[in-house]
Structure 1
Amino acid sequence: MIEKPITDYDEEVRNCSCSYCGNNCDDITYLLKDKKIVGVRHACRIGASKIINDQDQRLLNPLVRNDEGILEETTWDVALDKTARLLYESDRPVLYGWGETSVEAIKKGIKIAEKTGAVMDNQSTICHGSSIQAFQNVGHPVMTLGEVKNRADVVVYVGTNPMDDHPRHLSRYTTFPEGFFRKNGRKDRTVITLDPKYTNTAKVSDEWIQFNMNEDYLLFDALRMLLKGESLDEEEIAGVPTSQLENLIQIMKNAEYGALFFGLGVSQTLGKQKNVDMLIQLVEDLNRYSKWSMLPMRGFFNVSGFNIALTSETGYPYGVDFSRGYPRFMVGETTTIDLLNRREPDFFMAISADPGVQFPGYTIKHLVNIPTIQIDTHWGPYTELADIVLPSTRVGVETEGTAYRMDSIPLFMKKVIDKPENCHSDEWILTQLYERIEILKQEEDN
C-alpha cells in the first residue's frame, strides 16, 4: 500500500532534528497546519511515527496519587512542592534516565544531585555501560559519521541491527550515500554483518557471518590471531569456518578506510566488557595495515550526551554517587540496578525514561515501596508506579536544546511548535525543583 503524499498543510519547517535515536538526523522537514504537525519528510518510519503520533497517551497535566491509589490532576505548585520535599528529605535518592532530554536539562539535574547527595544514572547502566568501561580500559578509536559517509569502503556491523533499530543509519551515513571519496555510493562499499541471527541488516549486506551466541570473545580473539599471521588448527571457531574468517581478515586488511559498528549483541552478551575490549584491540591491530575506527550504536537520541555532560562535570560517565559530598563511581556499587536490588534507594525519579519497560521484575518491585516521580511526555508502564507525574515537552519539537549524536557530535535541536498549555520543559521543571530545594535548605539552616 502506497501512502498518498500530504498536501493539506500551510507551512514547512526545514532542517529540524529527530529526537528518536542516536542518528540524530538533522535534515527533517515538518509540515504544519494551523501550527500543528500534520506530516514529516525524510524521517524514518519509527521517527515519523513518534512525531506524528505525539499526542497518543500524552501527559498534559501534573498528577498526584491520592490516598486511594488513583492519580488525579493537581497544580504545578502542589506537584513541585511535594516532589522537592520528598527529594530533600530522602537519604538515598536516585535520579535516573536522561537519554531523551537536552544537555541543558542534564546539567540542571547534576546541580540537584550535588545538592541532595543523589545518585545520577542513565540508560548506559543497562546497555553500553560495559562499552564505556572498555573505552576507559583500552581506548576508543573513534570516528564521526561524516568520515564514514565520505571515506569508508568497508563497513562492518557486529551484534547490531540498524535496519530495524536505526533505520536511516545505512541510507544516511554508512552504506548508500554518495561520499567525497565514494562517488558511487553503495557500489563503492563492502558491507559485512557479524551476527548470530539473520537480521534485516544482514539481508542488505554483502556477507553475513553467523557465529555462535555468547562466543563473541572467542571469535574476536581468533580474528586477531589470523591478523597477526597465526594459524588456527580448528576447522571452525565460534561456529564460523576458519576459511571464512581468513577471507574476512583479508577484506579488512585491504580496506582503504574501515568503519566498525557494534551493538548490545556484543556489550550485553556473555563477556560484556571483555568482548568490547577484544574488539577494540582488533581495530587497533587493523590500523597497522589500514585505517579503521569504531563506534557503539547508541539508542536514545541523547544517551551519549548524558555520558559526555556528566564526564565533563564529574569525571565519570554514569552511575555517579554524590552522597559523600563529592562524585564517586563504581560499577556494581553506585549503578541503579544494583542499588535497587539491594533495596537502598528511598526515592526514585525517572526523567525521560521508563523503568517499567527497562528494568527486571525484581528490581521494579522495590519501586512500589518508595516515593517515585515521573518527568516525561507520555503515559507508560512507569506511570502506573509513579506517585507524582510531571508532564514535560519534546526536545526538538516543542523545546530547543542540545544533544550529542552517537559519534559525540553536538547538535542544536530547534523548537518547531508551541508546547501543550500545561506542560513544561525538563529544564524548567528541574530548575523549579532546584529552587524549591534551596528554599527548604535555607529554612532548615535558619
Structure 2
Amino acid sequence: MKNYSHIYFLGIGGIGMSAIARYYAFKGFKVSGYDLTPSQLTAELQAEGIEVHYDDNPALIPADAASTLIVYTPAIPKELKEYQHVVNNGYKIVKRSRMLGEITEGQKCLAVAGTHGKTTTSTLVAHILTESGEGCSAFLGGTSKNYNTNLLVSHNKLVVAEADEFDRSFLQLHPSIAVITAMDADHLDIYGDIGHYQDAFRDFAAQVSDALIIKYGLPVTGKDTGARIFTYHLSEPKADFRAENMHIDSFGHYTYDLCHPGGIIKDIRVGTLGALNAENSIAAAAICLLHGTDAGKIRHAIGTYAGVKRRMEEHINRDNLTYIDDYAHHPNELAAAISSLKEMFPKRKITGVFQPHLYSRTRDFASEFANALSLLDKLILLDIYPAREEPIPGISSETIFKDVSAKEKVLIKKEELMDYLSREALDVLVTFGAGNIDRFVKPICEMLSK
C-alpha cells in the first residue's frame, strides 16, 4: 500500500466495500468512489469526507494511475465505462475480498461464515470484544445498531470479519478461530450445485488454524481442517456449546444457560429478538470463550447487544401492533424467521411483505420460497429485485406466487405497497428482502405511528 495515496472504489455503496473505504480513510488515504444510486450509506460516507459520485464517468477517476489503487466488487457490470477505463489504462485493480484478506494478514482473525446468520453473529462478536474492553477492528456485513456503523477500528492486532462465500470471497481469509453457521445451497449461479458450494466451505475450514466452530450436524469433519472442531446448537444436547433452561418473555427475548466445555454461564438474556438470534448468540459466545474473553463480560454484552439494522429489526412493538424488518432473502432464512415470529407472537396474524432478490435465486429455489412463504397468515409479494442480473425469460414473482398456499396472498408492484398497507388492518407486519425494500421502512413506520 505504500505506493498508493488514493484508493478508488467501484461500487463504494455496498456494505462490504463501504467498510473497507472507511478503514482506509481512517488510515489517512484519500478515498473516493462510484456507485449506481445514492443511499443512506453513501450519504454517510460523504458526510465523513469521502467523495462519492453516481455518474458512470471515467473523467471522475483520479488521473494518476501510479498512485491510485482501484478496488471493485464483482457485483458491478464489466461493461461499466469506469471499469473498462481502469482496465485499459494501467491501474492496479483488486477485488474487495483481496483487500480484506490483506488487511487481516498479520493479525489474529476471528471470522464468521455461513449461508445465514453471519452478519448478526460477527457483529455480536465485535460487540462482545468491544464491551469487554479488549477492543477489535471489525468489518461487518451490516450496520451495527450499537455503534451505527459497519466498521470498528482498534489499534490492537485483533480483527473480526464476516466471511462471505459469494464469489468464494472468504477464501482470502486465514482465521485463527472461525464459525460456520450454515451450508444451505445458495449462489448456484456461481457454484453450479450444492456439492461445489459446500466444498468451498470445506476449503475455508482448511484455512482455519486454531479452532473451528460449526453448527451441529454440518458436513465438516476433522479431515477438512487441522483446527480443533467444536459444535454449537440451540438445543442439541450433544453440541459442545448449547442452551439449557431456555424461556421467552412476552416481547420475544430469550434467556438461557450456556453450557460449554469449560462450564456454564447462567441466565444469559439475549438483547435481540427470537430463537434465531439466541442461537447466533451461542455461536458468538463460543468464539469469544475460545479466544479467552471473560464469561461474565460475554453474558453482559449479549444482553446489551442491540443487533444489526435489517436483521429481525424491531421498529414498533405494541400490544396491538408490531412491525419488524428483516434481510431474509433465502428460503431457509424466511422459513426460520417466520417460524420464530409465530413462536414469538402466537395467536396473532402475521402479514409478510417479500421482495425476491435475483432472478437466478428465484428460479433455483421457487418451490422452496413458496413453501416458506406459505407459513405466513398473509403474503404480500412484490416484483423481483434484479440487483446485478438481467431478466431470465419465464421467471417472475408469479413463479413463486402460484404455489403459495397461505390463507391470504396478493401480488402487487412495489409502487402500490404503501397505498395497499394503508387500507389493511395490520397486527404483526414484517418486511423481508435483500433488495431496496428497506426504502419502505421509514414511510411504513411513519404511517403506522399516526
Q: TM-score range by the shorter chain?
A: 0.3 to 0.5
TM-score (norm 1): 0.33
Say which structure is richer in strand: 2
The structure, 1 or 2, with the larger RCO (C-alpha pairs under 8 Å, 6+ apart) is 1
Between structure 1 and structure 2, the one with the greater Rg is 1
